[in-house]
Amino acid sequence: MSHVGYVLGLADDALVAAQRLGEWCSRAPEMEEDIALANIALDQLGVARMLLTYAGELEGAGRTEDDLAYLRSAHEFRNVRLVELDNGDFAVTMAKLLFLSVYQRLLYDRSIGVGDERVAAVAAKARKESAYHVDHSSRWVVRLGDGTEESNERMQAAVDLVWPYTDQLFEVDPDVHALSVAGVIVDPSTLRPAWLAAVDAVLAEATLTRPLDSDSSVVRRGEHTEALAKLLAEMQVLHRAHPGARW
């Protein structure tokens, strides 16, 4: 995976996460939560737009952020499978958001000082937003995990379901490792110890058990679940039906 692939991976994580969170509009358990998830989705979309624009410039093929968002097929996306999973119930969404947002917060914090100034600038803007995402998801995981017997069972089931997909957050290929050694970007694999410490603290407060680690070793090479193709079909339908249209 090249430098462009790395930036696309970060962009696609945010873009697909935004699309999934947006599906909760008018469906969240509380009106306040409806607004909160919409705002988090917009935060993710803002990051995705900046990174997609930059990826297009790095690629040098004249593709815009819209081209990259709406005119790529599923196998061209570089997001982790965690973000594309169906929302499931509210507990599944909160588990997904917790695991992703802790990762993003750590990544953005450490990316502020990297050699890639564009990535550093995006990270500087996104770090405060991601800190809120961590706080929001943590509160819900604790509320559900340390709530009733049923809410604890459902929150534990959500954690168990989502956990195997977290390994991919930290997988890197030789190109990314070389860029990180040169100080251009952050090596995601170095984030795992801090990520585990942060997640373990939330799970402990929520009286939840961390699942055993899986042996997954899938890097960002366009391997996805069936859920992504369905998500993209909905997200891209208007743009593909009216190519080049301006609003």
pLDDT digits (tens, 9 = 90+) for 99-124: 999 999 999 999 999 999 999 999 99
Q: What is the pLDDT of residue 149?
A: 98
Q: pLDDT higher for 213 or 157? A: 157
Task: Report whether 51 contacts 7 (CB < 8 A).
Answer: yes
Q: What is the pLDDT of residue 138?
A: 98
Token pair for 101: 């947002």
- Of 6-15, 125-134, 173-182, 202-211, which gets the smallest average pLDDT? 173-182
Nearest Cα to Cα of residue 88 among 30, 38, 154 = 154
d(CA 167, CA 146): 26
CATH assignment of 3-209+219-241? Answer: 1.20.1260.10
Q: What is the pLDDT of residue 173?
A: 77
* Contacting residues for 35 by C-beta, under 8 A, at least 6 apart: none
AA letter at 75: H
Q: Which residue has the tokens 């050694």?
A: 181
Residues in the chain: 247
pLDDT at residue 22 above 60?
yes
Q: How confident is the model at residue 220 (pLDDT cuts 50, 70, 90)?
A: low
Q: pLDDT higher for 1 or 85? A: 85
- Percentage of the chain lying above the pLDDT 90 cut: 82
pLDDT at residue 1 above 80?
no
Average pLDDT for 177-187: 84
Q: What is the pLDDT of residue 214?
A: 66
Per domain, the residue ranges of the chain are 3-209+219-241
Q: How many CB atoms lie within 10 A of CB 3?
A: 18
- Note the pTM of the prediction, 2 decimals: 0.94
pLDDT at residue 221 above 90?
no
Q: How confident is the model at residue 24 (pLDDT cuts 50, 70, 90)?
A: very high
